């Protein structure tokens, strides 16, 4: 039986929504898996969000649409409101509690990660928050090895930022999962 | 003269499509004279044409290679073709005033901006004659045509302080001249310089239309009377507003002063391939 | 084989380069701009020419000009630019010029929504110029990998048929990222079923034979062959004529050189058509992948559902609709385009339905629900503007 993982990443432009998807996809390719990523270029007129729909599978992917996300990285309140309804009981929503208030009615699990303040404190810049999220996500993705994700970070990000991004990745990986039902 | 036609023109396309008494045949011949005097053969020239009287008269008359674009687009086509042709091939386009100065003007300006090596010969019959005689941007103000029955009043590009060739000069053209076909050898000399210029050249050749412009605007179909009217209006280079006269002569000769587009393209590509340029 | 993670835009660029494209002229437009950007980087590396035209009409005319000089040329755009090709496309069709056109369809009409997928140019791609009297080759990729393959194929067909070939993609294919395998050797290229036809030069004098023959070298200027090509109706030598007999010969050639060799063009994928499907879903481009998911899901539920993915769109593949069945087209438009053609082609006794949306892909769940309604003979009408009966 094939394995298909659906990941939804959404937030504002500039939060690295597409970049995280690119790193995941690149890592999946390194791993010899199939992967797709659809990007919706959000503009203000379309609700002010950017969305990456990433699917990873060990066989050719037919529909690239994320219909029932296994993981949803919600980087903004607007994105959360927009797509939380897609998440079923098997879904896990990674969010920053400073920006997103979880909906108690949802069946999906929530994992609160204060990525911005963590990145600010540990790396001196909140801009690395997305890679902290990526690290946290990767700790749950048995399908992808951390080595391949690290290699993808080196491939997809400018060399002068490698060191800090790899540290941000490790920070995220080291976080303990605290799932609120 | 018939030797010239035999040398360069496909026999099945001789005598051409122009009306009896039309100045277009003379205009066509001026271009052949220039080619001949430059010592060029049929393999040295690729000839393109536009639409209208000029297109019909000149298309596939040239014994060598020839093409016709849709209305106004032949300058864009010539830009692509120039990249494919060896630099020594001369690219001559015979087009009408509507083709060059209205519907195709955007492409003409961009060909001038890039300084693409081509010689545009505008056979200017002072309006849209192949469609029965409507005014255009070179039609003298006040002219009665089928679409200006009260006299042409829209601003044109040859009077009132405007000169379409000045626009082309500002756009980057490296050779610009205007003549009437009745000026003997003068237009041939300009055409030769235009063809020799390794860059964007344009020669506007004004010629009398006896069928429409003559009848509608000048009230006569007598070629002699129409030719006289042309001669009376023809002047040399005029500083300032020429009024209702045709300013003729070489308006701008900067031959060889700018890098030609296809040469620049080849140099650029070579430099990338040699690793001299990086992203 | 080089495995990468890249966009359809990158795949199209690489396909063109490997097919021998040496001229790209275009005008920036979302979501096809990235093809132009990639070409501006890649073409000079392989000795090719990239230039930005003053508009899309000029872009295709520049390509045509390069093509009649012997270059393999391509342009890429989206709807608002595609419509401006009308003039140059007609010239290429009539003068039999091999050139490749990519359209990444977005939401229309006019500027519509720039970065969201649509499928509104199904018919426009067939009739991209006026006057009729011609047939068009249109290929529709549904994945990044296929965007690569069909771009190579478009160049191949353009040379063999001496005609412009359109790659009708959508925003999801061009902007979407996916696993992309690129051949690294001639052997790998061939193993992928890809072929390149080098540009040949017609020696003349019969540049436009009154026949349906293909594999005739294109008209190439600059070799003193007496080559002639134009927007006029040509005689066999390319001379302009107003003779209706010659016009008929020319039209016949433009139509039947393609129709009579359509086996070289026709391409489709089918799912469970041999297993007596009651309902057959039909799509092209990205929606066809959701259709594939929906068909699989339906089969898992024991429903007799099949699917058709059209890879070549034009000439239209009537042969795919020879079964009497209930057909449902799935399209990224609200007005229903593919459905009209399926309705025409479907075997007698079939019923043909339409599921449309613009700007977003359907979900397989939605399609499955629709299929269940069809199986129960329930009407598909929904209320108000949300969904209308086609």
- Write the CA distances from B240 to B29, B161, B237, integer angstroms: 32, 7, 10
CATH code of the domain in which C351 resides: 3.40.50.920
Asked if pLDDT for residue C268 goes beyond 50, the answer is: yes
Percentage of the residues of chain C whose pLDDT score is greater than 90: 94
Boundary (domain end) residue, out of C142, C172, C191 = C191
pLDDT digits (tens, 9 = 90+) for A73-107: 999 999 999 999 999 999 999 999 999 999 999 99
Q: Do C187 and C279 share a domain, yes or no?
A: no
pLDDT digits (tens, 9 = 90+) for C31-41: 999 999 999 99
**pLDDT at residue A43, rounded to an integer:** 53
**Record: contact B65-C225, CB cut-off 8 A:** yes
**Record: contact C224-B273, CB cut-off 8 A:** no
Residue of C nearest to A60 (CA): C179
Mutate to test the interface with A, among C3, C10, C34, C177 (most CBs of A within 10 A): C177
Of the two residues B241 and C90, the one the predictor is more confident about is C90
A21 interaction partners in chain C (CB closer than 8 Å): 177
Q: Where are the domains of chain A?
A: 4-175
Q: Do C29 and C144 share a domain, yes or no?
A: yes
Counted domains in chain C: 2
Tokens at B168, concatenated? 């082309």
**Record: contact C67-B85, CB cut-off 8 A:** no
Could you confirm whether domain A4-175 is CATH 3.30.70.2860?
Answer: no
In a domain, C137, yes or no: yes
Of B43, B60, B81, the CB nearest to C66: B81
In a domain, C234, yes or no: no
- If pLDDT is split at 50, 70 and 90, which confidence band does A45 have? very low
Instruction: Please tell me chain C's helix, strand, coil percentages from 3-state DSSP, rounded to the nearest 5.
Output: 40, 20, 40
CA dihedral A25, C3, C292, C362 (to 10 degrees): 40
Count Cβ–Cβ pairs < 8 Å, chain A vs chain C: 74
Residue position matching structure tokens 């082309």: B168
- If pLDDT is split at 50, 70 and 90, which confidence band does C24 have? very high
Chain A and chain C touch, per 3+ beta carbon pairs within 8 A: yes
Residue position matching structure tokens 């019923």: C351
Q: How many CA atoms lie within 13 A of C23 on its CB side?
A: 30
Of C5, C113, C294, the CB nearest to A25: C5
pLDDT digits (tens, 9 = 90+) for B230-259: 999 999 998 878 888 999 999 999 999 999
- If pLDDT is split at 50, 70 and 90, which confidence band does C388 have? very low
Contact C84, C148 (CB under 8 A): no
Per-residue pLDDT averaged across C323-344, rounded? Answer: 96
Report the candidate in A58, A75, A57, A59 with the shortest Cα–Cα distance to residue A8. A75
C71 interaction partners in chain B (CB closer than 8 Å): 80, 83-84
**pLDDT at residue B14, rounded to an integer:** 81
C290 interaction partners in chain A (CB closer than 8 Å): 62-63, 65
In a domain, C81, yes or no: yes
Q: Do C160 and C60 share a domain, yes or no?
A: yes
Q: Do C179 and C276 share a domain, yes or no?
A: no
Asked if pLDDT for residue C300 goes beyond 80, the answer is: yes
Q: Do C184 and C88 share a domain, yes or no?
A: yes
In a domain, C216, yes or no: no
Q: Do C141 and C12 share a domain, yes or no?
A: yes
**pLDDT at residue C382, rounded to an integer:** 60
**Record: contact A36-C177, CB cut-off 8 A:** yes
Asked if pLDDT for residue C181 goes beyond 70, the answer is: yes
Backbone φ, ψ for residue C211 (5° rounding): -145, 170
Per-residue pLDDT averaged across B136-154, rounded? Answer: 97
**pLDDT at residue C81, rounded to an integer:** 97
Per-residue pLDDT averaged across C203-219, rounded? Answer: 97
- By a Cβ cutoff of 8 Å, what residues of chain A touch chain C? 21-22, 25-26, 28-29, 32-41, 43, 46, 61-65, 67
pLDDT digits (tens, 9 = 90+) for C142-175: 999 999 999 999 999 999 999 999 999 999 999 9
Q: Do C165 and C276 share a domain, yes or no?
A: no
**pLDDT at residue B75, rounded to an integer:** 98
Q: Is the pTM of this model over 0.80?
A: yes
- If pLDDT is split at 50, 70 and 90, which confidence band does B66 have? very high
Domains and their CATH numbers in chain B:
2-273 (3.40.50.970)
Of B65, B79, B110, the CB nearest to C221: B65
**pLDDT at residue B53, rounded to an integer:** 95
Per-residue pLDDT averaged across B104-113, rounded? Answer: 98
Q: Strand ranges (DSSP E) for chain A?
A: 4-11, 34-40, 50-57, 71-74, 92-95, 109-112, 179-180
**Record: contact B73-C66, CB cut-off 8 A:** no
| Buried/exposed B113-151: b ≥16 CB within 10 Å, e otherwise | bbbbbbbbbbbbbbbbbbeebbbbbbbbbebbbebbeee
Residue of C nearest to A152 (CA): C5
Asked if pLDDT for residue A9 goes beyond 70, the answer is: yes
pLDDT digits (tens, 9 = 90+) for C93-123: 999 999 999 999 999 999 998 888 999 999 9
Asked if pLDDT for residue C390 goes beyond 70, the answer is: no
Residue of A nearest to C7 (CA): A37
**pLDDT at residue A1, rounded to an integer:** 45
pLDDT digits (tens, 9 = 90+) for A105-126: 999 999 999 999 999 999 999 9
Closest approach of A29 to chain C, Cα-based (Å): 6
In a domain, C244, yes or no: no
- If pLDDT is split at 50, 70 and 90, which confidence band does A44 have? very low
What is the C-alpha to C-alpha distance for residues B263 and B268, in angstroms, rounded to an integer? 9
Average pLDDT, chain C: 95
pLDDT digits (tens, 9 = 90+) for C212-228: 999 999 999 999 999 99
**pLDDT at residue A176, rounded to an integer:** 85
**pLDDT at residue C368, rounded to an integer:** 96
- Write the CA distances from C7 to A29, A82, B124, C170, integer angstroms: 13, 26, 50, 12
Strand order in the sheet with C305-310: C268-271, C305-310, C279-283, C326-331, C351-356
Which domain covers residue C6, as residue numbers?
Answer: 2-191
Q: Do C185 and C278 share a domain, yes or no?
A: no
C70 interaction partners in chain B (CB closer than 8 Å): 84
In a domain, C240, yes or no: no
Q: Look up the ipTM and state it.
A: 0.97
**Record: contact C177-A37, CB cut-off 8 A:** yes
Q: For chain A, how long is the longest CA-to-CA vector? A: 45
In a domain, C232, yes or no: no
In a domain, C8, yes or no: yes
C377: β partners: none
**pLDDT at residue A42, rounded to an integer:** 58
Closest approach of C203 to chain B, Cα-based (Å): 12
């Amino acid at each position: 039986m094939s394995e298909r993982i659906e990941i939804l990443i959404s937030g504002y432009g500039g939060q690295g929504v597409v970049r995280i998807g690119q790193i995941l996809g690149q890592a999946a390719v390194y791993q010899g898996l199939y992967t797709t990523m659809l990007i919706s270029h959000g503009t203000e007129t379309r609700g002010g969000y950017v969305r990456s729909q990433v699917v990873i599978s060990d066989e050719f992917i037919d529909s690239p649409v994320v219909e029932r996300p296994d993981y949803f990285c919600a980087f903004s309140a607007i994105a959360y409101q927009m797509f939380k309804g897609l998440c079923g009981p098997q879904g896990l929503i990674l969010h920053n509690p400073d920006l997103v208030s979880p909906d108690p009615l949802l069946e999906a699990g929530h994992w609160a990660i204060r990525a911005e303040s963590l990145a600010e404190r540990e790396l001196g810049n909140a801009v690395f928050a997305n890679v902290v999220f990526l690290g946290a996500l990767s700790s749950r993705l048995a399908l992808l090895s951390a080595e391949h994700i690290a290699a993808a970070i080196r491939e997809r990000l400018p060399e002068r930022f490698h060191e800090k991004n790899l540290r941000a990745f490790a920070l995220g990986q080291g976080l303990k999962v605290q799932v609120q039902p | 003269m018939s030797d010239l036609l035999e040398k360069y023109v496909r026999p099945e396309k001789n005598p051409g499509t122009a009306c009896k008494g039309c100045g277009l045949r003379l205009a066509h011949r001026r271009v052949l004279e220039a080619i001949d005097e430059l010592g060029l053969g049929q393999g040295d020239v690729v000839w393109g044409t536009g639409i209208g009287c000029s297109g019909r008269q000149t298309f596939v008359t040239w014994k060598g290679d020839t093409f016709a674009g849709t209305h106004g687009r032949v300058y864009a086509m010539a830009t692509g073709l120039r990249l494919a042709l060896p630099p020594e091939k001369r690219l001559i386009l015979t087009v009408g005033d509507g083709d060059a100065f209205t519907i195709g003007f955007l492409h003409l300006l961009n060909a001038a901006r890039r300084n693409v090596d081509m010689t545009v010969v505008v056979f200017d019959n002072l309006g849209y004659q192949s469609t029965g005689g409507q005014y255009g941007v070179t039609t003298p103000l006040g002219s009665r045509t089928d679409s200006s029955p009260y006299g042409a009043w829209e601003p044109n590009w040859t009077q009132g302080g405007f000169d379409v060739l000045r626009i082309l000069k500002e756009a980057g053209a490296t050779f610009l001249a205007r003549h009437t076909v009745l000026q003997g050898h003068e237009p041939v000399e300009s055409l030769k310089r235009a063809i020799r210029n390794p860059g964007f050249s344009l020669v506007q050749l004004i010629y009398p239309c006896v069928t429409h412009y003559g009848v509608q605007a000048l009230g006569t179909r007598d070629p002699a009377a129409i030719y006289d009217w042309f001669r009376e209006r023809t002047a040399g280079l005029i500083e300032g507003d020429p009024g209702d006269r045709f300013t003729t002569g070489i308006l701008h000769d900067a031959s060889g002063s700018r890098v030609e587009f296809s040469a620049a393209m080849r140099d650029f590509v070579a430099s990338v391939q040699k690793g001299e340029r990086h992203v | 084989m080089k495995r990468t993670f890249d966009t359809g835009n990158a795949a199209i660029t690489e396909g063109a380069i490997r097919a021998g494209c040496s001229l790209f002229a275009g005008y920036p437009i979302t979501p096809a701009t990235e093809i132009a950007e990639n070409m501006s980087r890649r073409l000079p590396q392989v000795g090719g020419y990239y230039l930005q035209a003053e508009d899309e009409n000029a872009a295709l005319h520049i390509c045509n000009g390069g093509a009649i000089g012997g270059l393999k040329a391509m342009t890429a755009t989206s709807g608002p630019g595609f419509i401006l090709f009308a003039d140059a496309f007609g010239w290429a069709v009539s003068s039999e010029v091999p050139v490749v056109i990519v359209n990444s369809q977005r939401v229309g009409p006019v500027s519509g929504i720039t970065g969201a997928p649509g499928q509104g140019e199904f018919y426009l791609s067939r009739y991209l110029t006026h006057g009729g009297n011609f047939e068009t080759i249109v290929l529709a990729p549904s994945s990044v990998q296929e965007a690569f393959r069909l771009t190579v194929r478009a160049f191949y067909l353009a040379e063999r048929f001496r005609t412009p070939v359109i790659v009708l993609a959508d925003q999801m294919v061009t902007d979407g990222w996916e696993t992309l395998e690129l051949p690294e050797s001639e052997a790998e290229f061939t193993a992928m079923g890809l072929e390149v036809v080098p540009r040949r030069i017609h020696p003349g004098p019969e540049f436009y034979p009154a026949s349906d023959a293909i594999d005739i070298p294109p008209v190439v200027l600059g070799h003193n062959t007496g080559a002639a090509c134009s927007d006029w109706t040509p005689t066999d030598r390319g001379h302009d004529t107003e003779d209706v007999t010659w016009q008929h010969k020319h039209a016949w050639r433009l139509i039947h050189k393609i129709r009579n060799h359509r086996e070289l063009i026709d391409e489709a994928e089918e799912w469970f058509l041999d297993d007596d499907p009651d309902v057959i879903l039909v799509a092209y481009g990205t929606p066809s992948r959701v259709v594939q998911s929906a068909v699989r899901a339906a089969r898992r539920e024991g429903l007799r559902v099949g699917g058709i993915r059209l890879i070549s769109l034009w000439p239209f593949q009537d042969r795919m609709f020879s079964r009497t069945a209930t057909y449902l087209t799935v399209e990224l438009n609200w007005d229903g385009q593919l459905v009209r053609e399926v309705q025409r082609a479907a075997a007698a006794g079939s019923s043909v339905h339409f599921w449309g949306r613009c700007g977003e892909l359907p979900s397989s769940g939605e399609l499955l629900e629709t299929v269940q309604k069809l199986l129960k003979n329930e009407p598909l009408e929904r209320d108000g503007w949300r969904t209308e009966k086609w």
